[in-house]
Amino acid sequence: MEFIKILFKNRKLAFSLGKNDFKNRFANTSLGSVWGFLQPFVFMFTYVIVFQYILKTGSAGNDPYVVWFIPGMVMWQCINDTVISASNSIRNYSYLVKKVVFPVDIIPVISIIASGFVAIFLFVVAIAVGIIFKYVPNFLQIIYIIIAAYAFLIAFTRFTSAVTTLVPDFSQLLTIAMQLFFWFTPVVWNLSMLSNHPLILKIMKCMPFNYLVSGFRDAFISSNIVTEGHGIYTIVFWIITIVMFVWGNYTFKKNKKDFADVL
């Protein structure tokens, strides 16, 4: 497809701008990019302390709470940060949109790459925590879930970045929606709590955010999400991702010519 060709042709430019984007987020601070890694790290372990030791919330089974919680939160932070930053990327890079020769299609990918530096750090943290507690993850599943996550994020933000550019208020709505998705996705609670509501449970398992969070978590403490009873949800996830990409790509291409006028 045209988008894939443009992205491949400009991959070095996208990576270079993504790296600069990440550095510039903390350019006016003494610690610089360190804050990009420190903030989510502290945020995650604050949740662990609050839910495990203060609220005394346990995970399903006999798995240590930190091993159960950290992978899910890591994936969610990756999703949330990427969605918010990439959705606002075209407005943040308005000066590039007005350059006729610049490939506007890669702008959301620039923000995805910038967010990816922190995501890689958090993935390493999750793996390290698992190994410390003697939970060796399924690395093939980790690789698969990361690929699936970025395939979905590119498809999803292809749509949201176009809409946010044309309708600035959509950014605020998306922020609220992501906050709601956080609580409706089993990040701090377990899907087993819905075992008495089979219909709701099936609907939840079909949600892409749930698939990614549960899939990354299962790589540490459970079964392979690609098979072993999860096959139907894998098919549903990829159908949703493909549909979202086609829809997002259509929306982006249709409105791309209007971006410079509204910025």
- The structural domains of the chain, with segments of one domain joined by +, span 2-262
**Element at 146 (helix H, strand E):** helix 139-166
Query: What pLDDT score was predicted for residue 79?
Result: 96
Q: Residue 74 in contact with residue 216, Cβ under 8 Å?
A: yes
Return left, alpha or beta for 103; rule: phi > 0 is left, psi -120 to 50 is alpha, else beta.
beta
Tokens standing for 232?
């139907």
Cα Dmax for the chain = 58
pLDDT in tens, the chain (263 residues): 688 888 888 889 899 989 888 878 776 666 667 777 778 888 887 888 887 777 666 665 677 888 888 999 999 999 999 999 999 999 988 888 877 678 889 999 999 999 999 899 999 999 998 899 888 888 888 999 999 999 999 999 999 999 999 998 999 999 999 999 999 998 888 887 888 888 888 888 889 999 999 889 988 887 555 555 567 889 999 999 999 999 999 999 998 888 877 87
Compute the distance between CA of residue 101 and CA of residue 103 in angstroms, rounded to an integer: 7
Q: What is the pLDDT of residue 154?
A: 96
Burial degree of 137 (CB within 10 A; 0-12, 13-18, 19+) = buried
Select from 226, 158, 189, 186 the least CA-distant residue to 7. 158
Distances in whole angstroms, Cα of residue 230 to Cα of each of 63, 74, 166, 211, 236: 21, 21, 38, 10, 10
Give the single-character DSSP code of 104. Answer: G
